[in-house]
Amino acid sequence: MFLRCADAVEARQILEEVHEGVCGTHANGFTMAWQIMRFGYYWSIMEGDCISYAKKCHKCQIYGDKIHVPPSPLQVMTSPWPFSMWGMDVIGPISPKASNGYHFIFVVIDYFTKWVEAASYASVTKSAVSRLLKKEIICRYGMPERIISDNALNLNNSTITEVCSQFKIKHHNLSPYHPKMNGAVEAANKNIKKIVGKMTETYRDWHEKLPFALLAYRTSVRTSTGATPFSLVYGMEAVLPIEVEISSLRILSEIKLDEAEWIQSRYDQLNLIEEKRLRAIRHGQMYQK
C-alpha cells in the first residue's frame, strides 16, 4: 500500500476532515490514524497527532460513552448473503425536536453488509414504514428473505403484513422478554445517535445532519465485518471529500488512466467483490467466537 506523505498544513486539514468533517465519525485517535492510512496519507507523528486531536475535541467529551454503565448483552444475528435479511427499529422520541418538528428516526440495517437506511419522521406511522420498505429497500436492493423487528405496533400491523405477503417476505418478531436482542440494529442505533449528536450545531438541526451521519457510518470500517458497508455493497471504497481537497494517491493515479484503463480497473474491483464478502463472513465468524 502506497501512502502520500502530507505536510503540516495538509495534516491539520486531514485531521479535521477525518474526525469531524462530512464523513467524520469523531473516532478515537487510534481509529483515526488507521482511517487516515486507509485513505492513503501518512506523516511521521500521525498517531500522536490523532490521539491529541481526539482528546481535545469538545463534542467527543460531551457525547462519550458512559463507561460506568454496565454493558448490556447483544444477540448477534447473521445473514447468509447481502440484502437477504434486514432488521428495523425506531430511535426516539428525540428531545429536543428538530426544527421541522421531527423527533423519531426509523432505521433499517442489512445484517450482512451493515448497510443502513434511515429517515426522520414526526411520527413513525405504519404507512411511513410500509413506504420506506417499498421505496428504499425492495426497489433498491431487491426482495429480502426476511425482516426482523421488535413487537412495536407501528412495525407489526395489517399494512406491514400485507407488504410482506405481497413480496413473499418472512417477518420475524423478537421475544417480548428480550426486546434488545437485535444486536446489529441496537449497535447501529447507538452509533448513528452518537454521530448525529456530535455533528449537530444547534441541537435542532439533527435531521439535516442525518444523511451525513449515514455517509460517515457507511464509509467507516465495522468491527464485525472488518470492512466498510460501502465496499461490501459496491466493491470499492467511496471517494471522500478530503481525497479531492488534498489529492490522494488513488485520485492521482486514476487521473492518469484513460477511459479503457479506468473501466478495466473498475471491472477488476467488481470481480473481487465476492472475495471481499467471503472474507467478511470469515471475519464475522471469528468476531462472534
Q: For the chain, what is the total number of helices (H) and then of strands (E)?
A: 14, 7
Residue in 188, 240, 223 with CA at minimum distance from that of residue 14: 240
Contact residues for 15 (Cβ-Cβ < 8 A; gap 6+)? 32, 36, 49, 50, 53
What pLDDT shows up at residue 66? 59
**What residues in the chain have per-residue pLDDT under 50?**
177, 179
What pLDDT shows up at residue 71? 60
Of all helices (H) and strands (E), which one includes residue 182?
A: none
Burial 220-259 (b: 16+ CB within 10 A, else e): bbbebbbbbbbbbbbbbbeebebbeebebebeeeeeeeee
Contact residues for 236 (Cβ-Cβ < 8 A; gap 6+)? 230, 266, 269
**Residues 176-203: pLDDT tens digits?**
545 455 667 778 888 888 888 777 767 6
Whole-model pTM?
0.80
What pLDDT shows up at residue 65? 61
Using DSSP's 3-state secondary structure scheme, residue 151 falls into coil
Distance separating the N- and C-terminal Cα atoms of the chain: 30
